[in-house]
A and B are shown apart, each in its own frame.
Chain A
């Protein structure tokens, strides 16, 4: 009898918590300045221009090449260069994008973009990311829906969960409807096609690398495998690319090769672009992770050549609708760099 009463009361209390908790989260987030509420964040138009990128994606047509991955992607793959070489493309990279977010984005845009080639930058897989930063990025800058809930549950982090409650409320109230992200916040400038060009002249390559030895968390690895399976199922060629980083960073990252590392290196469609492009740490990088524009140009051309050499590139799709974006800007930029 007492046990029954206990279970009834406990169930009732759990139900009350479940119903009232979202209200408390919203009340705290509205009535207190957000920095005071530790586990709620709403980086609307935060790092990486995801808001603008997703807005652009809404009206975008099919592309030849789709880029996926972390900041190495949206700061490393320049659609203007690919266009110059005859390929239309869209860069769907985002800050600290981990496989669970990649899976969500891919499921959402594959029918629309119909890429013939996917370039999947794999730092997010090697880097043992928890997926929280990128989850917050998507919650704030994309619609909150069931796919988003699924992603948050996979990430399993209270910060992401609370932020989703808050993001849903803002969405329902239409608070962010009129938000417009500034496309150029020096030294970053958003380039149509999803790329962010970094125009800083100084460099700081001192940040620590971390290690790939831990490998990805199980939920990330499963998401990664599901995404690759989806490409296979759709007949889309996917290449896994490790983007260039500074020499020390790369050495530190791979000091103890992880199982994932070994798995990737055994794949015929894996390309490690470190050390193959003639990039110099001091000239071509502005920090240990990211390339300056001169470096991006070298890297992208080297990658295209490398893919062509391995017969991994689809034939150039010379389609005026796909390839006229920014050709003249590209031409000027290449001339300046040289």
Chain B
């Protein structure tokens, strides 16, 4: 079920009513309602894969219980490896089988032994990368004794499958989200209203900005070899907006939706395009995944504690694995590696934590230096996004060649004439809200209701007037 579908418009109020009224003050009943709702939400797409999510849930629940009941180091290690092997095995089978098969065939062809293998007919279960990482964080944290294993299977199953963030995150840590299922939530007006506002902004980002940029991006990437450098640059800029608004829009809807049920999810994006260097960008982009890799991969590898060689190795590992997490394609690996190249100079010179606060804190406008830094960082991300968007390496390299060597004397303007104005509106609101949880958290909050509601009704109207009219899935569903 998509957040931007009529199905969800019907589904959400029903679950909301069931949860707060039928659930009453019974914690288990409420959790059970959320669990059933989450399985309906996921099964709407393809009920067969409910078996998979149920299996992962049961496995990690029992691994957790067993970890809690034994102090034998060897047994504990076996239990952890069971969880890792099964979860990552399933992820690997569904997501990477064909990639490894094809790479295997290509490698043999290089040595003059051409042969072919039929691709496996595998459907990638939506959200498998997200919920696998979520359940893994539970097993690892219990193994590390950072978390007491839960004895409530319903609460745990709901934690794994919680519908707002099930298919595209934020990837929640058990230590933060699981306790929320163990205490009775009370309805808070301010929290619910702010959740609704965040959902509204997320829908605007997805349905107006991302989907309309997608149309232009598809056009430009589809005929890149016939277009000039300026148009190709425009294409990569529009894709930067598309991917951000698509994914952070989803996160905003997920976080807002969870708040309607009294849950607090972690922030996933912190206005990353207002970053002054790549290190800051990566602290603000897909935060739940970046911190997951930091805590469960980068730090165990030694992080940035060792010598230069170790720092370089660990940086490349984390960025390349992050790229590979996104999909089984060399383009994602290249995207990760390129970001590592952008990041390394900052790390090695010790300047990777220079910009920890928000740009132009307490001011309306950035300084010239900040503006240049932001634009340069944005340009670097746009270059990297070309790999992320391209169908294969040939297209990515051809696109970049055209972007850097093609003509800048003419540009193929977007076919949607209002798109530039919508982008300006979007950027202004994001800039105004950059110091808060989301763009609409404070904007207009102190205004009289008439003006505040005018802004919100205006956004609803813009969605109606400019949304893409077909149902468009979120990009990150494929990951």
Contacts and interface: CB of A to CB of B under 8 A. Distances in A.
Count class of interface residues, chain A = 20 to 34
A59 interface: no
A160 to B, nearest CB: 9
A5 B189 CA distance: 7
Contact of B465 (A6, A17, A40, A156): A40
B373 interface: no
Contact of A158 (B20, B418, B469): B469
A25 interface: yes
B6 interface: yes
Given A2-B189, A16-B453, A20-B457, A36 B464 contact: no
Contacts of A36: 417-418
A208 to B, nearest CB: 15
Given A38-B418, A157-B469, A16 B457 contact: yes
A231 to B, nearest CB: 31
A21 B461 CA distance: 6
Interface in A2-34: 2-3, 5-6, 9-10, 13, 16-17, 20-21, 24-25, 28, 32
A158 B464 contact: yes
Contacts of A132: 469
A3 to B, nearest CB: 5
Nearest to B207: A158
A244 to B, nearest CB: 30
Contact of B464 (A13, A16, A162): A162
Interface in A146-161: 156-159, 161
Nearest to B416: A38
Contacts of A35: 417
Given A24-B465, A28-B465, A39-B467, A9 B457 contact: no
A6 B187 CA distance: 10
Given A36-B417, A38-B418, A156-B6, A21 B457 contact: yes
Interface in B173-193: 187-189, 192-193
A39 B465 contact: yes
B466 interface: yes
B456 interface: yes
A38 B187 contact: no
A55 interface: no
A37 interface: yes
B461 A38 contact: no
Interface string B424-461: 00000000000000000000000000000100111011
A13 B199 CA distance: 15
14 contacts: A2-B187, A3-B187, A13-B457, A17-B457, A21-B464, A24-B458, A24-B461, A24-B465, A25-B461, A28-B465, A32-B418, A40-B465, A158-B467, A162-B465
Pairs of residues from A and B, 3 with the lowest C-beta to C-beta distance, nearest first: A2-B189, A24-B461, A36-B418
Given A6-B187, A16-B457, A39-B464, 17 more contacts: A2-B187, A3-B187, A9-B193, A13-B453, A13-B457, A20-B457, A20-B461, A21-B464, A25-B461, A25-B465, A28-B465, A37-B465, A37-B466, A38-B418, A38-B465, A39-B467, A39-B469
